[in-house]
A and B are shown apart, each in its own frame.
Chain A
Amino acid sequence: MPADEEKILFVENLSKRIGQREIVTDLTFDVEHGEIYGFLGPNGAGKTTTIRMLVGLIRPTRGKVQIGGYDLGKEPLQALRHVGCIVENPEMYPYLTGRENLEIFGRMIEEVTPDRIEEVVRLVELDQRIDDKVKTYSLGMRQRLGIAQALLGRPKLLILDEPTNGLDPSGIREMRRFIRQLAREEKISVLISSHILHEVQLLCDRVAIINKGRIIQIGPVDQLLEGDSPVEWKFSPLDRGVKVLESLPDVTILERRDDGLVFTRIPEDCIHEANRELLHAGVKVQTIHRKSPTLEDIFLQLTEGDSLA
């Protein structure tokens, strides 16, 4: 398969076996330029192993990784030249200052000038503390220093493993804003792994859902959200209301619960019609609640069989 100009990252049939256990099986996905791509799965799903394979820390048992058109297995230096990453925690040398850390990593990449270091420090807003020892930094500052380090070589692809892990709510919000800004203004593609659905939902353009080492779904976040949009009803008498709803062409009854709640799938612009029909039939409508489906719902739906097994 030729290198695709549109894709900054292209992964095909990526698998890793350690001992008898296959940790990751046949992952195939791609990340486009300027896209924020979510890699979502519960802990232990194989996200970190995959990310380590993408940055050359782990050798895949099978499959290939292409970064910026270069095969990671064959031309690792050209491939890694385009990548900045934080794998798990942003570990830096605590006995050095932020600037010394950046200088150390800068020396390992060509073309990193002192000006570039200044620039990334300003970008992550660490200018006040950059000459302090890293051991005095808060977790949020370390995270930002980690990102500064990842950005030094002007990467086209930024790989972040659980970037908001351990941050406080304001830190998380800030990190989100920052990642969006990077993608929009610097045109950097970002691959984010996370076990937090909410986070991927707020941040990503596309998402791959991974469980037990396999991708179980890939799609744009809004499309995944569109599919099911259940509406929750509460009315009485129950039987009559259900009969009315069933008679309407656009409505599907999903679930009828014992506590009197009815879940339906119904297009948004039909809700008021359904409501009118119910009123006409003398049904007392108490609640109409549109549940916006979260990735959580989708995820549970997709992985339900597995977790029960």
Chain B
Amino acid sequence: MRNLIALVYNELLKTVKKKRVLVVLLIIAVLIPVFTYAQYRTVQTTIQQMGTSDWRSILQQQIIDNQNRLSSNRMPEEWKKLVRLNIQQQQYYLDHDINPMAPGAPTFVRKFTEESISLFLPLLVVVVAADIVSSEHSAGTIKLLLTRPIRRWRILLSKYLALLLLVSLIVVATAILGTLLSGIIFGYGGWELPVFTGFQEINGEMITDQVHLVPQWQYILMSCGLAWFSCTAVATLSFMVSVVVRSTAAGMGIMLASLISGSLLTQAAPSWTALKYLAFTNLRLTDYLSGTPTMIEGMTLPFSLAVLSIWSLASLVVAFTVFVKRDVLA
């Protein structure tokens, strides 16, 4: 055990000294202000379009409209429930003096996580994961690693554990940097803001029975957890590719191509239902939280988690088998 910790430490040391981690953190630190500014521009445009920009009176009017709809007899009961939740949310904005158009750093982080879970975060993960094994091959240092009196699977396990830690670092760093940097413009309030969740989709219909409000901080924690899960699956697949392909450039190319086609294919062919069994069409786990309809029928949170887990497990089996068995010829 002590031995394994030392090995994981070695791997982390190499990644840090290779400045891989630094590059990834820099990418995050540069892109978040860009997105913050983009968001800020959108908010400004919306406010301009609404003219007077007195959002309080607009919100008040919306609440009154909603209350009127509630008193109508023709509205089905489940709709009424949604409308009540909506009123609750609007009332919260009003009570806590939060402009729903520009609601603060936590909302930015929530949106950013949702947007980055399918491509941006996985790309960063690939940058770290793709060379964790293949770089040892291209540098020739694999010969030094594998001639130590240590079993090969332990060497690979230490690399995988180090990778999991790095993935966690990427997700946490995105959340923290996102909060800190966007807060400079949007302010740091809004953690308690109520957010809808609990949507279900059955046979293509959105079921709202379970819909409820949760404080935003809780929602962010859940999104980050799901983002971590997606990223771990991506990391595990890249890890396998890194073991099998042995060339960092080829490995990275394969992973980027699969990631991008994964997100394009669902949009290109939503009727092709077999796509839902691919790993990279299941990355948008936060959609299940926010109730965004999935592109392909029959996808649920447990389904996506299961697909990603199966792909990850299969990758690990392949990676460990190949790594332990293969001759190091060059």
* Cross-chain pairs A/B with CB under 8 angstroms, 13 sampled: A55-B147, A58-B328, A77-B149, A81-B149, A88-B140, A91-B139, A91-B144, A93-B139, A104-B10, A105-B148, A107-B10, A108-B7, A108-B149
A80 touches B144 (CB 8 A): no
Specify which chain A residues have a CB less than 8 angstroms from the CB of B149 in the assembled complex: 76-78, 80-81, 108-109, 153
* Contact residues of A between 52 and 71, Cβ < 8 Å to B: 52, 55-59
Contacts A57-B328, A59-B327 given; does A96 touch B14 at CB 8 Å = yes
* Contact residues of B between 115 and 174, Cβ < 8 Å to A: 139-141, 143-151
* Contact residues of A between 87 and 108, Cβ < 8 Å to B: 87-89, 91-96, 100, 104-105, 107-108
Separation of A259 and B327 alpha carbons in the complex (Å): 54
B329 touches A58 (CB 8 A): yes
Contacts A77-B149, A95-B18 given; does A57 touch B143 at CB 8 Å = yes
Contact with A along B1-36 (1 / 0, CB 8 A): 001001101100110011100000000000000000
Selected from B14, B17, B144, the residue in CB contact (under 8 A) with A149 is: B144
B10, B147, B327: most-surrounded residue (chain A CB, <10 A): B147
Specify which chain A residues have a CB less than 8 angstroms from the CB of B325 in the assembled complex: 59
Specify which chain A residues have a CB less than 8 angstroms from the CB of B147 in the assembled complex: 55-57, 80, 83, 85, 87
Separation of A93 and B13 alpha carbons in the complex (Å): 11
| With A76-B149, A93-B17 already in contact, 4 other A-B pairs whose C-beta atoms are closer than 8 Å | A59-B327, A80-B148, A107-B7, A108-B150
Tell me the B residues contacting A by CB distance below 8 Å.
3, 6-7, 9-10, 13-14, 17-19, 139-141, 143-151, 325, 327-329
User: From B3, which residue of chain A is reached at the shortest CB distance?
Assistant: A110
B151 touches A107 (CB 8 A): no
* Contact residues of A between 133 and 186, Cβ < 8 Å to B: 149, 153
B17 touches A108 (CB 8 A): no
Specify which chain B residues have a CB less than 8 angstroms from the CB of A91 in the assembled complex: 139-141, 143-144
User: From B139, which residue of chain A is reached at the shortest CB distance?
Assistant: A91
Specify which chain B residues have a CB less than 8 angstroms from the CB of A95 in the assembled complex: 17-19
Selected from B19, B144, B327, B328, the residue in CB contact (under 8 A) with A105 is: B144
Prevailing SS type, chain A contact patch: loop
A108 touches B148 (CB 8 A): yes
Nearest-neighbour CB distance to chain B for A78, whole angstroms, equals 7
B9 touches A107 (CB 8 A): yes
Nearest-neighbour CB distance to chain B for A68, whole angstroms, equals 12
10 nearest CB pairs, A to B: A91-B140, A57-B328, A108-B148, A107-B6, A58-B327, A80-B149, A81-B149, A55-B147, A77-B149, A87-B143
Separation of A77 and B17 alpha carbons in the complex (Å): 29
Tell me the A residues contacting B by CB distance below 8 Å.
18, 52, 55-59, 76-78, 80-81, 83, 85, 87-89, 91-96, 100, 104-105, 107-110, 149, 153
Specify which chain B residues have a CB less than 8 angstroms from the CB of A52 in the assembled complex: 143, 327-329
User: From B135, which residue of chain A is reached at the shortest CB distance?
Assistant: A93
Nearest-neighbour CB distance to chain A for B143, whole angstroms, equals 5
A100 touches B148 (CB 8 A): no
Specify which chain B residues have a CB less than 8 angstroms from the CB of A56 in the assembled complex: 146-147
Separation of A85 and B3 alpha carbons in the complex (Å): 21
Specify which chain B residues have a CB less than 8 angstroms from the CB of A88 in the assembled complex: 140, 143
Separation of A110 and B6 alpha carbons in the complex (Å): 11
Separation of A18 and B145 alpha carbons in the complex (Å): 23
B148 touches A92 (CB 8 A): no
User: From B328, which residue of chain A is reached at the shortest CB distance?
Assistant: A57
Specify which chain B residues have a CB less than 8 angstroms from the CB of A18 in the assembled complex: 327, 329
Separation of A58 and B151 alpha carbons in the complex (Å): 14
Nearest-neighbour CB distance to chain B for A67, whole angstroms, equals 11
Separation of A104 and B14 alpha carbons in the complex (Å): 9
A96 touches B17 (CB 8 A): yes
Contacts A58-B329, A93-B14, A95-B17 given; does A109 touch B148 at CB 8 Å = yes
Nearest-neighbour CB distance to chain B for A152, whole angstroms, equals 10
Separation of A52 and B329 alpha carbons in the complex (Å): 8
Contacts A56-B146, A77-B149, A109-B148 given; does A93 touch B328 at CB 8 Å = no
Specify which chain B residues have a CB less than 8 angstroms from the CB of A83 in the assembled complex: 147
A89 touches B139 (CB 8 A): no
Specify which chain A residues have a CB less than 8 angstroms from the CB of B141 in the assembled complex: 91-93
Nearest-neighbour CB distance to chain B for A9, whole angstroms, equals 14
Separation of A83 and B144 alpha carbons in the complex (Å): 12
Contacts A80-B148, A104-B14 given; does A89 touch B140 at CB 8 Å = yes
Separation of A78 and B14 alpha carbons in the complex (Å): 27
Contacts A83-B147, A105-B148 given; does A100 touch B13 at CB 8 Å = yes
Nearest-neighbour CB distance to chain A for B13, whole angstroms, equals 7
Separation of A281 and B149 alpha carbons in the complex (Å): 71
B144 touches A77 (CB 8 A): no
Specify which chain B residues have a CB less than 8 angstroms from the CB of A110 in the assembled complex: 3
Specify which chain B residues have a CB less than 8 angstroms from the CB of A93 in the assembled complex: 14, 17, 139, 141
Specify which chain B residues have a CB less than 8 angstroms from the CB of A109 in the assembled complex: 148-149
Nearest-neighbour CB distance to chain B for A270, whole angstroms, equals 52
Separation of A85 and B9 alpha carbons in the complex (Å): 23
Separation of A107 and B10 alpha carbons in the complex (Å): 8
Specify which chain B residues have a CB less than 8 angstroms from the CB of A57 in the assembled complex: 143, 146-147, 327-328
